[in-house]
Amino acid sequence: MGGGLEPVDDKFAKGSEGDRIAALAILEELPTLHVFSPIVGSLTAPRSNMDQYHALVAAEASIPYLTSDERNTLRGILHQLDGTMRPPTRA
């Protein structure tokens, strides 16, 4: 990966819920970083509803920057999740 991408992946890979959400928040604000794996990870294996919510927001922001294959992957994930997501709740 190019410069600037590793810190977001590293933050996500640390694994704590806070680190994951922080990485997704970065991608929400800077979708041009083009880091897709944390979005997929939080959509397909969320640690919390908030994790999945931030993945959805980051995915929406990233759409203009995704490759055709990534868009198809995202479309498939969202199709599988349709009707299974719940709104975030406070702990």
Write down the pTM of the prediction: 0.81
pLDDT-derived band of residue 1, with 50, 70 and 90 as boundaries? very low
| 49-70 pLDDT per residue, tens | 899 999 999 999 999 999 999 9
User: Which of 3, 53, 10 lies closest to 32, judged by CA?
Assistant: 3
CA dist 58 and 91 (Å) reads: 22
Confidence grade of residue 75 (pLDDT, cut at 50, 70, 90) = very high
Q: How far is CA 50 from its chain centroid? A: 11
**φ, ψ (nearest 5 deg) of residue 10:** -65, -45
Short-list 16, 31, 26, CA closest to 62: 31
Judge whether residue 36 has pLDDT over 50. Answer: yes
